[in-house]
Amino acid sequence: MAIENGRWTGPILDNHFHLDRKHRFLDAALDFKRVGGTDLVLVHKPDFDNLPIEQNAWKDVYQDTIDMANEVRKELALGVRVILGPHPATWVHQRQALGDELASELYCDAIDLAFEYCHQGDACAVGEVGRPHWQVEDEIWNRANELLSWTFRRAKKEGFPLQLHVEGEGASTYANLAKMADSEGLARDKLVRHHAPPDIDKETTAGLIPSVVVGKGSVEEIMENVGNCLDGFLMETDYMDDPRRPGAVLGPKTVPKRTQALVQAGLDEEQLMLIHHHLPEKIYGPQI
């Protein structure tokens, strides 16, 4: 793998990508491939209009994510890793509708099932899990943290990484999550912070792995901090495949384009291989 004529010709991985067979689906993945993308981390996308209310329903929606990954592999020859889990907002929505006890039971069922798929080799991590990234009452916040601590304990026991969706604060959020991981005996580098800001300085990230959403201005800030990035970082769009929210997140072509912008800004081949191959393989295992 090399930089040739100022362009990176090696692997390019988007670490957080949603697909929806009711929307663009394969066309969105094809957009990613056409501009140089080679590998996707496909994260389960919740349907907030039809959330699972028992474990068999979780099986159905997880299996649909796995099936979409298989179709992308077959039709487009892209590498695809799958991450399954209950989005933080799922529990909040269900708690409002069903009460804390049943909603929390459904959450734990969803986590247990996601780990089962990991052990079967159909998924490589559990996520996106976390806690509300919007303002909530203290009761909800505290209960969400109890469930997250329980999830950390399960991840320690099961031996698989977690991909987290948490609030937007920088160093304070990383420090809090690191403390929680330490208290549960979970290695910090088993935690990938999805939708992370481009401040990847080791003093900020506290040993967690930042998955940077590479919007405007991210290249410049990454280059400012990359010299102090201890364990590397990942790149993502959080592409939602939802035509109702066209500007909510980044488009499927963004990670390949930002990768080439990082080349122009001075990122070298070793760093690019770390981002797009070595670090994903270390966290998730080999590409399928």
Asked if residue 287 is part of any domain, the answer here is no
- d(C-alpha 8, C-alpha 12), whole Å: 9
Predicted confidence at residue 127, as pLDDT, reads 96
Q: Is the pLDDT of residue 48 over 90?
A: no
Full residue range of the structural domain in which residue 246 is found: 8-281
Q: Would you call 27 helix, strand, or coil by DSSP?
A: helix
Predicted confidence at residue 1, as pLDDT, reads 65
We report the CATH number of the domain holding residue 222 as 3.20.20.140
Predicted confidence at residue 94, as pLDDT, reads 93
**b/e map of 90-102 (b: 16 or more CB within 10 Å)?**
bbbebbeeeeeee
> Which residue in the block uniquely carries the two structure tokens 């209950």?
86
Report the 10 Å Cβ neighbour count for 286.
9
Q: How far apart are the first and last CA of the chain?
A: 19
* Number of domains comprising the chain: 1
Asked if residue 3 is part of any domain, the answer here is no
Q: What is the pTM of this model?
A: 0.97
pLDDT tens digits, one per residue of 76-118: 999 999 999 999 999 999 999 999 999 999 999 999 999 999 9
Predicted confidence at residue 238, as pLDDT, reads 97
Q: Is the pLDDT of residue 269 over 90?
A: yes
- Write the Ramachandran bin of 69: left for phi over 0, alpha for psi from -120 to 50, otherwise beta: alpha
Asked if residue 157 is part of any domain, the answer here is yes
Asked if residue 1 is part of any domain, the answer here is no
Asked if residue 2 is part of any domain, the answer here is no
Residues 6+ apart with CB under 8 A from 197: 168, 170, 210, 212, 213, 221
